[in-house]
Structures are given as C-alpha cells and as structure tokens.
Amino acid sequence: MAGQAERLPAQRSGTFLLGGDLPVVRLGYGAMQLTGPGVWGEPRDRGEARAVLRRAVELGVNFIDTADSYGPYVSEEIIAEALHPYGDSLVIATKAGLVRTGPGEWHSVGRPEYLRQEVEMSLRRLRLDRIDLLQLHRIDPQVPLPDQIGVLADLKNEGKIRHIGVSEVSVEEIEQVRKIAEIVSVQNLYNLANRQSEAVLDYAEREGLGFIPWFPIATGELAKPGGPLAGAAKDHGVSPAQLALAWLLRRSPVMLPIPGTSRVAHLEENVAAVEVDLTDDEYDALTKAV
C-alpha cells in the first residue's frame, strides 16, 4: 500500500505497454489545444501552454499525443520548449498525413516523400533522435496503402520511429495495414456519447493494441440537467467530464484517454478523474444510457 500511495496522481490510472515494451500511463495528455482557434496558429498564452505541459508531467502523465498539423507545427514546438530535455520515461507520440490550409481545414496527403519529410521535420521540432510512436493521421485514399505504411516501416528500420500507429480506421483497414507493417496503436473518435468505433476498440483489446480515443470527454445530451451523466456526476461530487473519463478508463484495459486543455486548472481536474470509482451498476447505467 505504501508504494501505491507514492504514485503520482495520473499513475493511478495504471499503465499499458505499447508494443509490449514501451510503458505509458493510461491517462495521457492530448496537445491539440496548445494552438489557436481552429487548431491554427499561436495559442492565446504560450506561457500557459508550456505550464500545462510541465504540470502534466508533474502529475505523472508520461504520454503526450500531438501532430505536425496542430498549428501546424506549433504544438510540437511548444512541447520541445516546455519539456526538452525529456525525462527517460516520457513518451511523445506525433502524427503525419494531414495538411492544413486554414483554421478548421484538414486534408489527407499520404505520398511517401511527404510523410518522410514530415517525420524528419517532427524529429527536428521535437528535438528527438527517434519518435516513440508515429501515427498515420489519416489514410489517403489517393495513395496506395502499401506506399503510405511502407515509408513508415522504412523509417522505423532506419531508427527514426520506434513504433507505428494509425488513426481513424476500420477493423478491415487495420488488418490491411498489419499485412504491411507491425502497428501498436489505433486512434479513433470515441467517447461515452459516440461509440461508433466499438468494433475497433474490441479488436484492439483482442489484439493487444493501444486504443487512443480522441475527443474523449464529449458528453453532449448526457451531461444536461436531468441526464444520466449529470445525475451520476452529482452523486460523486465530480464533473460530467471527470465521470466520462472514469468510464473510459473502466471500459477497457487498452484504453488510453488523452484529454486536452490549454489551462492548468482544467488539466488538474481531468487528472483527478482517476480517483472516481464507478460501481458496476453505475458503469452499466452509463454504458446503456446511449
């Protein structure tokens, strides 16, 4: 029990071994909000953005998820400013495969030469020799899949990527990818109110792949007064967002939520979700609410 008490807050969410060899604390941090409106340009307060990252690490978060397209480039730059030189246990995941033409605008580009260029640039911005987890942000339907995954496999063989992941994919697409290269994670839209990727999550759990839900604390109608999430949150004395995170952590041992924020106080609130213990009845009621 003494060892348990010594753990930092986020570490109480447990750990998961990405690829069987890379331990990450299950409650991570998503760095998309370290940018301006529409995930474009500079944040309102760059100093606060750096403070959020440093506080996350202080709270025991060791898994930070970003992408070259966040800003673009701004999120990766701020991570390096705030946290480099990195601690031995810190795992930074980034993504390539989306280009930006303005706020809220995203376009898939999976040409091998482009993906290689972006990985090289992410290494430079993050001040890394190797990216622990490089995720293909989207499969580009205009480029053969073996070309897109193949260049990431080449970069892995060159020692520039440790592990490969994919984002917004179906089970069928994951199986196609795995015929080309080994992957360790899947990042799909998933939260209590939107569980369209249930089959992908079940597949990830069966195959031992990390499942990284983006937009993890969207609660929608469930959190409105009189809704099931609002009532349960009131009973626990926590926010609906904290309860939604607690539900995700309970849902599967491969679940790696990455709630993001640009404020230290909100970060601390999110991390406190690890203290919420749902009873079986509460978990079942929330699961059936959608």
Of residues 70, 86, 190, 203, which has the active-site annotation?
A: 70
Q: How confident is the model at residue 4 (pLDDT cuts 50, 70, 90)?
A: very low
**pLDDT at residue 31, as a whole number:** 98
Rounded distance between C-alpha atoms, residue 91 and residue 96, angstroms: 17
Which of residues 259 and 285 earns the better pLDDT score?
Answer: 259
% of the chain residues with pLDDT over 70: 97
State residue 227's pLDDT score.
73
Which backbone phi and psi does 232 adopt, to 5 degrees? Answer: -65, -40
Strand partners, 94: 134
**Confidence check: pLDDT of 14 > 90:** yes
pLDDT digits (tens, 9 = 90+) for 243-256: 999 999 999 999 99
Average pLDDT (139-152) is: 98
d(CA 201, CA 188): 9
Cβ-based burial of 266 (10 A; exposed 0-12, middle 13-18, buried ≥19): middle
Structure-block tokens of residue 198: 């249930």
The answer to whether 24 touches 16, Cβ cutoff 8 Å, is yes
Kindly tell me the burial class for residue 8, based on how many C-beta atoms sit within 10 Å of its own C-beta (0-12, 13-18, 19 or more). Answer: middle
Write the pLDDT tens digit of every residue in 32-89.
999 999 999 999 999 999 999 999 999 999 999 999 999 999 999 999 999 999 999 9
pLDDT at 41: 97
d(CA 272, CA 288): 24
Contact in structure between 68 and 92 (CB atoms under 8 Å):
no
Mean pLDDT computed over 190-197: 93
Span 201-249, pLDDT tens digits: 999 999 999 999 999 987 666 777 777 778 788 888 898 889 999 999 9
Q: Cα 79 from chain centroid? A: 15
User: Tokens 């010594």 appear where?
Assistant: 6
User: Any idea which residue has 């080994």 for tokens?
Assistant: 182
Q: Which CATH number fits domain 2-218+252-259: 3.20.20.100, 3.30.300.130, 2.40.50.140, 3.40.50.10140?
A: 3.20.20.100
pLDDT in tens, 81-116: 999 999 999 999 999 999 999 999 999 999 999 999
Residue 2 has pLDDT above 50, yes or no: no
Distance, in Å, from the CA atom of 93 to the CA atom of 95, rounded to the nearest integer, reads 7
What DSSP designation does 67 have?
-
Other beta carbons less than 10 A from residue 199's beta carbon: 12
Query: Three-class SS of residue 277?
Result: coil
What whole-number distance in Å separates Cα of residue 178 and Cα of residue 58? 36
Per-residue pLDDT at 5 exceeds 60: no
Is 70 an annotated catalytic residue? yes
The answer to whether the beta carbons of residues 159 and 144 sit under 8 Å apart is no
